[in-house]
Amino acid sequence: MWDVEPGSREAIVRVIRTVAPDTKRLGGIRLPDCGLGDDELRQLLEELHQSGIRTHDADRTLCKREADGQVWLRLTDAPPGVGRQSITMAVDQILAHLQSIDDEVFEAEWPELQNAMYHARASARDWQDAMLCRPWEARLAIKAAKFTGREFMIKTGRDLAAVALMLPHNGKLNVTVNSSLEVLDSPAWQQIALHHHGELNLKFPFFDDYCGHPDPCDDLLPPLVGSRYNQISIMEPELLEVEEQRRLLALLHESGVRTDGSGVTRIMCGYDDDIRLMITDEPPPASDLDPSIKNDGCCLC
């Protein structure tokens, strides 16, 4: 059945019931360009199995989604098992195998391992876990970066390690950091500062209640030293007093952080109620609120 669109599950069931022979056993069921989601496929498999439809397969009743988008339905006398639990078990087996083999075996099995991950409908996080099993394998990092897309949140040490490995292959990944200082106290944070070229959103730990009020982001700054950014914005400036904003600006400048732009280092009004930190080689004036300083039509905060 070609060009299966989302929401067409009931129509597919009717067609298969109609064309199935008296024995209700088919050689195979293939759905090229299948647009059904996981829940719809699960329901489709269950309804066909309850209707007595079977294919010439052994072992389990399941569906397999190929890398090119087509789906194979395998219906045996065993009850369906396409739920996320069974998929996770299959992925877990693959991850355990990745950890147990040497480089020579990995090289020989790489095509089969890719197919196994596709058949298990591995998620972006599954590919990241596979990459973390063998962090020296660039091919796994490339796959993880491809499936991760453009957005990633760092909350744990595992997230930090994953981003550090993916960034050389996806430098424009938009990263949001919402973790403790303990998590960021790692060489992986330095790797992220080195390779990252996308949007980096920092939810500074001192904003969180459990962190109290230590000096602003001191431990986050060293890896950023010497880096030049397109722009640095504070998305919720109301969380910082004006004096804290000035102190942060001076601290970033003294640490060697720079942004694009010219003129003196200053605080500017941004968009959507945020503020921008323009950090150049020139230090901030005695009063960084000097209303005479302008840039690109933006007024100073």
Give the start-to-end residue ranges of the domains of the chain.
Answer: 9-82, 123-224
- Does residue 194 or residue 74 have the better pLDDT? 74
At 105, list the tokens.
Answer: 């075996």
Confidence of residue 292 (pLDDT cuts 50, 70, 90): very low
pLDDT surpasses 60 at 261: yes
As a whole number of Å, the CA-based R_g of the chain is: 27
Confidence of residue 58 (pLDDT cuts 50, 70, 90): low
Q: In one letter, which amino acid is 271?
A: Y
The answer to whether 81 and 102 have CB atoms below 8 angstroms apart is no
**DSSP track, 45-71:** HHHHHHTT-EES--S-BEEEE-TTS-E
Q: What is the mean pLDDT of residues 29-48?
A: 80
Q: What is the mean pLDDT of residues 45-49?
A: 86
pLDDT of residue 67: 63
Q: How far apart are CA 155 and CA 271, in angstroms?
A: 27
The answer to whether 82 and 88 have CB atoms below 8 angstroms apart is no
- What 8-state DSSP symbol labels residue 32? T
Of 20-29, 56-65, 140-149, give the lowest mean pLDDT range. Answer: 56-65
Whole-number average pLDDT of the chain: 76
Q: How many residues does the chain have?
A: 301
Q: Which percentage of the chain shows pLDDT scores above 70?
A: 74
Q: How far apart are CA 153 and CA 160, in angstroms?
A: 9
The string of pLDDT tens digits covering residues 118-141 is 878 788 889 999 999 999 999 999
Spell out the SS3 assignment of 161-211: HHHHHHHHHCCCCEEEECCCHHHHCCHHHHHHHHHCCCCEEECCHHHCHHH
Q: What is the mean pLDDT of residues 94-101?
A: 91
Q: What is the mean pLDDT of residues 193-201?
A: 68
pLDDT surpasses 50 at 60: yes
Q: Which percentage of the chain shows pLDDT scores above 90?
A: 10
- Does residue 42 or residue 200 have the better pLDDT? 42
Burial of 21 (0-12, 13-18, 19+ CB in 10 A): exposed
pLDDT of residue 213: 46
Confidence of residue 216 (pLDDT cuts 50, 70, 90): very low
pLDDT of residue 300: 31
Q: In one letter, which amino acid is 187?
A: P
